[in-house]
Copies of this chain bind each other. A is one copy, B any other.
Amino acid sequence: MDDIHFAVLGTGGIGRRTLEVSQHKDGLTAVAACDRNGVALDHDGLDVDELLAATEGNIASGPAEHASDSTPAAPTDDYASDGGAAAVEGGGVKQHGDQSGIVASEQGEPTETPIDDIIAESDAIDAVLLALPNLEHDFIPRVAERFAEADYEGVMIDVLKRSRVIGMLDDREDLLKASGITFVCGAGATPGFLTGAAALAAQSFVEVEEVEIWWGVGLKSGYEDNRGTVREDIAHLDGYDIETAREMSEAEIEALIDEHDGVLEFHDMEHADDVLLERAGICDAEDVHVGGVLDVRSDEKPTTTTVSVTGTTFDGETGTNTFELDDVTSMEANVNGPALGYLKAGVRNNRAGHYGVFGPADLMPGF
């Protein structure tokens, strides 16, 4: 496969780790990255080390995993119409003044329209990873729309989690197809890696009865980078929802975490694995259960990440196939490796002229 030139929108934890992991992979060249108030562009390849060093612990934007920081979200319509400035806006957790984020890199240029700047160069970009905060459910779909309106031909990929966003992407499928976009949605760890594992594990069966996705994350050293994800997860606890979680102050979140001694356990989360497996024909969304345990005070995983697929074989046996990730594999390894893996699969499809909206399971053997 020819070298893939890709861009990363958002340089929070997921964006930065994706850039880092891409350096270990063959055939991937990072050519663009942006955050709230800066863009770095070099079609011969960014100096990723320099960019990471300059932005580490110095985030201008509220990236994907800072989905809901303490700064109230701007109204959704603004995201799609402001040329990108609000698009990569987020909390104030790590801002360091005018020189924060990408502009602190010698490759960074200040801009008020970071996403538009990348769209302007997108003819030479094969794939775009959306590591943006999906503050409102339709934010990522709207960014895709903007690329489509600019006739972008290539791959777009996100690591979103919420089931309802998939339908919003599907609603825009005609527009994406007309432009020549192969959109791979939900392509991080879960949904993503584990959704694919479930789709594969289902291959023994002719009928899938249940998919259980159970994750463990130890997030001590990664906590600062992932406050937004923690906040999103809190929405899944009993007595909380997206709105209440969004409105909590940092202090309230800390108090809640203290109450649980740093360990939060989640059941029946709204994770897009369900609709992604249903759209691939593997099982009904309601038969998919996602839960897990998060420990923000340890880097050890509190439980082993496991996918269990229970089904019936053509010869009438009922059994459970399992996929287990080693406890030493970090959340970052399991998000960013698969994100780039699906990105490559997306490019394969895109180059063959296969456009539209794909979930991870759609890129697996059929069911």
Cα A313 to Cα B336 with chains together (Å): 10
Interchain nearest-CB distance for A136 vs B (Å): 29
Chain B residues in 8 Å Cβ range of A365: 196, 338, 341-342, 344-345, 360, 363
Known: A197-B323, A281-B26. A328 touches B317 (CB 8 A): yes
Chain B residues in 8 Å Cβ range of A348: 354, 366
Interface residues of A in 304-340 (CB under 8 A from B): 313-315, 317-330, 332-334, 336-338, 340
Q: A333's contact among B17, B24, B205, by CB below 8 Å, is which?
A: B205
Chain A residues with a Cβ closer than 8 Å to the other chain, count: 59
- For A327, give the chain B residue with the smallest CB separation: B319
Are B341 and A366 neighbours in the complex by a CB distance under 8 Å?
yes
Are B366 and A323 neighbours in the complex by a CB distance under 8 Å?
no
Cα A326 to Cα B321 with chains together (Å): 5
Chain B residues in 8 Å Cβ range of A326: 204, 319-322
Chain A at the B interface: mostly helix, strand, loop or mixed? mixed
Proximity bits, A341-360, B CB within 8 Å = 1, else 0: 11111011100111000001
Interface residues of A in 3-31 (CB under 8 A from B): 17, 20-21, 24-26
Interface residues of A in 187-207 (CB under 8 A from B): 193, 196-197, 200-201, 203-207
When A and B form their complex, which 3 residue pairs have the shortest distance between CB atoms, in order from nearest?
A: A344-B366, A319-B326, A341-B365
A: residues with CB less than 8 A from B are 1, 17, 20-21, 24-26, 193, 196-197, 200-201, 203-207, 281, 313-315, 317-330, 332-334, 336-338, 340-345, 347-349, 352-354, 360, 363-367
